[in-house]
Chains A and B, each alone.
Chain A
Amino acid sequence: MTAETRSLIDPQATATAADAAEPLLRTVDLTRHFHLGGILSKQTLHAVDDVSVSIAEREIVALVGESGSGKSTVARLLAMAYKPTRGEIYYRGRSVHSFHSRKDLLWYRGQVPMVFQDPYSSINPVFRVSHGVMRNLQLHRPNLGAAQRREEAARVFDVVGLTPSTDMLRKFPYEMSGGQRQRVGFAQALAVQPRLILADEPVSMLDVSIRAGILNLMVDLRERESVSILYITHDIASARYVADRIIVMYAGHVVETGPADVVLARSKHPYTQLLLSAVPDPREPISVSASPTIGEPPRVVNPTEGCRFRWRCPVAVEECSRVTPRLRTLGPAHSAACHVATADPA
């Protein structure tokens, strides 16, 4: 692993970020709270708290968590759809909050486009599927002439496997299957020559037999178009399949991060272990470790100090209800936010 792909999760590493190669994108203490109820209400939902992550060039990072863990909020923060309550996002070393002009914002959105979860509602049904791609090209690459735009649209359709592209570009969304529509989503993102694609649960609405194709497409795009991908998912098995690195979120916090294979083989955080034990795998005998009554992730409203997983945690100690655990390095590029987890033996 190169210095560039090294995780910059732990705070010590951010101090040395200046001399290490700057990653493509990096967040520092990214936080987003939502006010709940009327104007007199003092309730605040902590959707994302102090998330510091980095994504290197040509890296596929999977952000894994259950619903309500804050993973989609992170994607929206990175896409500048939400303003962070606190914290910074650095893109190639520049803080995105310094982008104010339309030109800068357009440039950033072209560099970091998003692919949405639902291919049935994220494409405008009244236009041919070429519409989204052509519009993106017009907006983000104004120096292209009409003929060049058509050429480029055909190229990105070819890249995402919508062939023959001349026929496919003329179709309406209703003429396409879910898998094909999701490919249109990726083609739209590709048209703007992105460096990082934010893919928010791109396969969860698709049929099982179609999913593998989209997962393979993501791996393929990294190879052929040299893009990085933030793959947001609740399915840790698919995360392992496509990603170099996995970041596990729970209730707004990053609880574990590390190389995909290491996180799966030697998971440190009890939540990651719980997630892994819950994955149904017909090739394995059923495990009976987890009790059936373990609950669901909490909505983090006005949280107090302490680990947010402690109510469901089988190994919680007294300290967990007093002190919020910080990410600690427990192995090479592998860290977890748990008081109980122990480091790899040296």
Chain B
Amino acid sequence: MPSPILEVRDLCVDYVTNSGDVRAVDHVDLTVEAGEFLAIVGESGCGKSTLLFAIAQLLSPPAEISGGSVIFKGNDMVQLSPSELRHMRWRDYSVVMQSAMNALNPMKSIEAQFKDAMAAHGNMSAEAMRNRSAEVLKLVGVDAVHLRSYPHQLSGGMRQRAMIAMALLFTPDLVIMDEPTSALDVVAQRSLMIQIKELQDRLGFAVIFVTHDMSLVSHYSARLAVMYGGQIAEAARTASLFEKPLHPYSVGLLDAFPSIHGPRRVLTGIPGSPPDLARPPAGCRFQPRCPQAMPECAVRQPGLYSVGDSMVRCLLYEAAQPGRPE
């Protein structure tokens, strides 16, 4: 059994506003094993990016971690000082942002940006840095001549690859990716996903991949966590979640996108819209949109129940809990 390299325990993140705190991440638990591919799926505003930023310690005010811990390789990241964190960034874990267009510095060549990251971590010779830059760029399938290119000279797919190359400069143990493919076309998207998976198999780093598109990660991630309203709604092995989704929200998500195969059938989508986290519903957060809601759902918050290998936050599964009196 591989040991977890990342354990998120009971993590809460609040956005502090004048009209009260908004809890964007609400008591989230996550475990990532070494070399694992974990996908976090959810709609906009569900807290998935905030969770990611909390794990990477990139939150800035008004967001603050109000509870819980993030244990990465034995250190609680929440307690580390900025200088200790700086030492770990790029080397032990790296982050690939959503839009490489904005994440790369438009005024600097790709090589100069790679150099910055490497120079921050010890003393590599200029030549070693150049060689390593060329090496990682080739790794992601971009010709090394583009080291001298500026971001605007690269296509969207190439920029995103350059970002991934940069994340791999030190071959970290964990690469955190925030919708790295959402600005790309389907064809480029797929080729990038295949590339990420190949690199992961080859280099053995763990991936946390955040996306709103469940089908995108269906073939690549081992486990899937579905977030809704700041909470984990369901966490399961990807295959079992696609085969037999437990949470009504997961069921709705799977039914929400059309297929190119099989007969055309009417999609229902999910009526309504995600909850306002400043005023979350009293009971289950999904209850106002849930087709299977019971009267009880409006008043009582469901816990996270385990069903087989999966965890699901829904009162429908409460009865299945062992040791609970009928």
Interface residues of A (CB under 8 A from B): 66-67, 177-180, 207-213, 215-216, 234-238, 240-241, 261, 264, 274-284, 286, 290-297
Among A210, A234, A235, A280, the residue within 8 A (CB) of B216 is A280
Nearest-Cβ distance from residue A20 to partner chain B, whole angstroms: 28
Residues of B within 8 A of A264 (CB): 260
**Which of A216, A235, A279 has the most chain B CB atoms closer than 10 A to its own CB?**
A279
Tell whether, in the assembled complex, residue A280 and residue B190 are in contact, meaning their CB atoms are under 8 Å apart: yes
Residues of A within 8 A of B189 (CB): 278
Among residues of B, the one whose C-beta sits closest to the C-beta of A277 is B190
Tell whether, in the assembled complex, residue B214 and residue A208 are in contact, meaning their CB atoms are under 8 Å apart: yes
Residues of A within 8 A of B214 (CB): 208, 282
- Stretch in B20-28, B68-76, B261-269 touching the partner: B261-269
Among residues of B, the one whose C-beta sits closest to the C-beta of A236 is B260
Nearest-Cβ distance from residue B82 to partner chain A, whole angstroms: 34
A235/B186 contact (C-beta < 8 A), A282-B218, A292-B194 known: yes
Residues of B within 8 A of A281 (CB): 215, 218, 259-261
A-B pair number, CB within 8 angstroms: 126
B253 within 8 Å of A (CB atoms): yes
B141 within 8 Å of A (CB atoms): yes
CB-defined interface of B211-245 with A at 8 Å, one 1/0 digit per residue? 01111101100000000000000000000001000
Tell whether, in the assembled complex, residue A296 and residue B260 are in contact, meaning their CB atoms are under 8 Å apart: no
Tell whether, in the assembled complex, residue A213 and residue B269 are in contact, meaning their CB atoms are under 8 Å apart: yes
Tell whether, in the assembled complex, residue B258 and residue A216 are in contact, meaning their CB atoms are under 8 Å apart: no
Nearest-Cβ distance from residue B315 to partner chain A, whole angstroms: 21
Among residues of A, the one whose C-beta sits closest to the C-beta of B216 is A280
Majority DSSP secondary structure for residues of B touching A:
loop
Tell whether, in the assembled complex, residue B269 and residue A283 are in contact, meaning their CB atoms are under 8 Å apart: no
Residues of A within 8 A of B10 (CB): none
Tell whether, in the assembled complex, residue B258 and residue A66 are in contact, meaning their CB atoms are under 8 Å apart: no
Among residues of A, the one whose C-beta sits closest to the C-beta of B42 is A207
A209/B43 contact (C-beta < 8 A), A241-B267, A296-B185 known: yes
Residues of A within 8 A of B255 (CB): 212
Tell whether, in the assembled complex, residue B273 and residue A292 are in contact, meaning their CB atoms are under 8 Å apart: no
Nearest-Cβ distance from residue A307 to partner chain B, whole angstroms: 17
Among residues of B, the one whose C-beta sits closest to the C-beta of A209 is B270
Residues of A within 8 A of B215 (CB): 280-282
Q: How far is the CA of A296 from the CA of B158 in the complex (A)?
A: 9
Q: How far is the CA of A180 from the CA of B212 in the complex (A)?
A: 19
Q: How far is the CA of A274 from the CA of B256 in the complex (A)?
A: 24
Subset of 25 A-B contacts with CB under 8 Å? A178-B273, A180-B273, A207-B212, A208-B257, A209-B270, A212-B255, A212-B256, A212-B258, A212-B269, A216-B267, A216-B269, A237-B258, A238-B258, A264-B260, A274-B187, A275-B186, A280-B218, A282-B215, A283-B261, A290-B190, A292-B194, A295-B157, A296-B155, A296-B185, A297-B185
Tell whether, in the assembled complex, residue A276 and residue B260 are in contact, meaning their CB atoms are under 8 Å apart: yes
Tell whether, in the assembled complex, residue A284 and residue B261 are in contact, meaning their CB atoms are under 8 Å apart: yes
A286/B212 contact (C-beta < 8 A), A208-B256, A209-B252, A296-B185 known: no
Tell whether, in the assembled complex, residue A211 and residue B257 are in contact, meaning their CB atoms are under 8 Å apart: yes
Nearest-Cβ distance from residue A91 to partner chain B, whole angstroms: 30
Tell whether, in the assembled complex, residue B252 and residue A240 are in contact, meaning their CB atoms are under 8 Å apart: no
Nearest-Cβ distance from residue A273 to partner chain B, whole angstroms: 11
4 additional contacts, CB 8 Å, given A67-B156, A177-B274, A241-B258? A208-B213, A283-B242, A283-B259, A284-B261
Residues of B within 8 A of A290 (CB): 187, 190-191
Tell whether, in the assembled complex, residue B185 and residue A209 are in contact, meaning their CB atoms are under 8 Å apart: no
Q: How far is the CA of A238 from the CA of B141 in the complex (A)?
A: 31
Residues of B within 8 A of A178 (CB): 44, 273
Q: How far is the CA of A290 from the CA of B187 in the complex (A)?
A: 9
Interface residues of B (CB under 8 A from A): 43-44, 141, 155-157, 185-191, 193-195, 198, 212-216, 218-219, 242, 252-262, 264, 266-271, 273-274
Nearest-Cβ distance from residue A1 to partner chain B, whole angstroms: 17
Tell whether, in the assembled complex, residue A296 and residue B157 are in contact, meaning their CB atoms are under 8 Å apart: yes
Nearest-Cβ distance from residue B42 to partner chain A, whole angstroms: 9
Q: How far is the CA of A154 from the CA of B43 in the complex (A)?
A: 30
Residues of B within 8 A of A286 (CB): 219
Among B185, B193, B273, the residue within 8 A (CB) of A67 is B185
Among residues of A, the one whose C-beta sits closest to the C-beta of B249 is A209
Among B44, B187, B261, B269, the residue within 8 A (CB) of A296 is B187
Nearest-Cβ distance from residue B20 to partner chain A, whole angstroms: 19
**Which of A177, A179, A180, A283 has the most chain B CB atoms closer than 10 A to its own CB?**
A283
Tell whether, in the assembled complex, residue A292 and residue B43 are in contact, meaning their CB atoms are under 8 Å apart: no
Q: How far is the CA of A281 from the CA of B257 in the complex (A)?
A: 10
Tell whether, in the assembled complex, residue A292 and residue B191 are in contact, meaning their CB atoms are under 8 Å apart: yes
Residues of A within 8 A of B259 (CB): 237, 281, 283
Among A177, A180, A213, A294, the residue within 8 A (CB) of B187 is A294
Among residues of A, the one whose C-beta sits closest to the C-beta of B219 is A286
Q: How far is the CA of A274 from the CA of B186 in the complex (A)?
A: 10
Nearest-Cβ distance from residue A210 to partner chain B, whole angstroms: 7
Tell whether, in the assembled complex, residue A237 and residue B260 are in contact, meaning their CB atoms are under 8 Å apart: yes
Nearest-Cβ distance from residue A264 to partner chain B, whole angstroms: 6
Nearest-Cβ distance from residue A166 to partner chain B, whole angstroms: 20
Among A209, A213, A279, the residue within 8 A (CB) of B253 is A209
